[in-house]
Amino acid sequence: SINAEYMGTAYRLLSLICTNPEISRPTAKFSMAFQRPVETSEWEDVQYKFGNKVGKYASHEKEILTQKIEQIMDEVVANYDPLAKRTTAELAEMLEDDDEDEKVLKAFREKRLAELKQASTGPRYGRVAHIGRSDYVAEVTNAGKEICVVVLLFQDGHSACQKLAQALQDIAPRFLKTKFLTIKSTEAIPDFPDRNLPCVLVYRDGKMLQQITGLNRWGGPGFKVEDVEWELSKMRAIEGSELTESPRE
């Protein structure tokens, strides 16, 4: 499909940029811009992620994807920092090798301060909230920087949805930095098939990272709360779980 072809190209280019050690402070810009950019709404963007070509995507899909690739490339090239993804442990080791490297020392300090700030501040949730279609963009895609959102798509009377919703209600009070939400599947995505329920979407920084349909990922129909917690921890949807191995092992 056009989506897979274009985004696959984008990811390959991003990988090349981010793994090339010679690129430290690049100034070049990738330019594929059109004179008249095609503007899309946030709702059209959300629908497109689920395969629904609505609005401008129905008539200008290729142009929109090309523009998005250009935006991604320009952001990566402008903001690339070879030290940004280093952990504090890695930066500390680099300092031991060369304790006079000001760039490494600065990165170490900034990383450590960010970790301390993240641990002590930020939004607190602690419950599962229900939203409607009109709330989706504000509560999910615009939730905020570094905010993880777990969204359960459900239908009333669906036993598997009810069981998974109960598990999330048990988990939410223990992981306050994750926003847990529920929304009726057909409100989130028109004509969403019941055979794909329950469906869990995991977002971070407004981008969808995971889409889990059915119960297999959670351990099947007999899953327990611990199974759900383990899987959410593995995908980094929650932080601070005390589970060290799969409950099913």
| Pairwise CA distance, residues 36 & 115, whole Å | 42
pLDDT tens for each residue of 79-96? 656 566 666 666 666 666
pLDDT at 128: 96
pLDDT at residue 4, as a whole number: 54
Give me the chain's average pLDDT, please. Answer: 79
pLDDT confidence of residue 25? 41
> What global pTM score does this model have?
0.57
Q: What's phi and psi for 154, nearest 5 deg?
A: -140, 175
159: pLDDT strictly greater than 70: yes
* pLDDT (average), residues 129-148: 93
Three-state DSSP at 128 gives: strand
75: confidence class by pLDDT, cuts 50, 70, 90: confident
Farthest CA pair distance, the chain: 64
Residue 226 has pLDDT above 60, yes or no: yes
Residue-wise pLDDT tens digits, 26-41: 444 444 444 567 888 8
* Predicted confidence (pLDDT) per residue in 108-122, tens digit: 567 666 655 655 556
Omega into 198 within 30° of 0, i.e. cis? yes
Tokens 């919703």 belong to residue? 165
Crossing angle of helices 57-79 and 42-49, in 10° steps, is 90
pLDDT band at residue 58 under the 50/70/90 scheme? confident
Residue 37 is classified by DSSP as P
Q: Specify whether the CB–CB gap between 88 and 111 falls below 8 A.
A: yes
Confidence of residue 6 (pLDDT cuts 50, 70, 90): low
3-state secondary structure of 130: strand
> Measured at the alpha carbon of residue 140, what is the angle toward residues 135 and 145, in degrees to the nearest 5?
135
Q: What is the spatial distance between Cα 34 and Cα 91, in angstroms, rounded to a whole number?
A: 41
Kindly indicate the confidence band of residue 214, based on its pLDDT and cuts at 50, 70 and 90.
Answer: very high
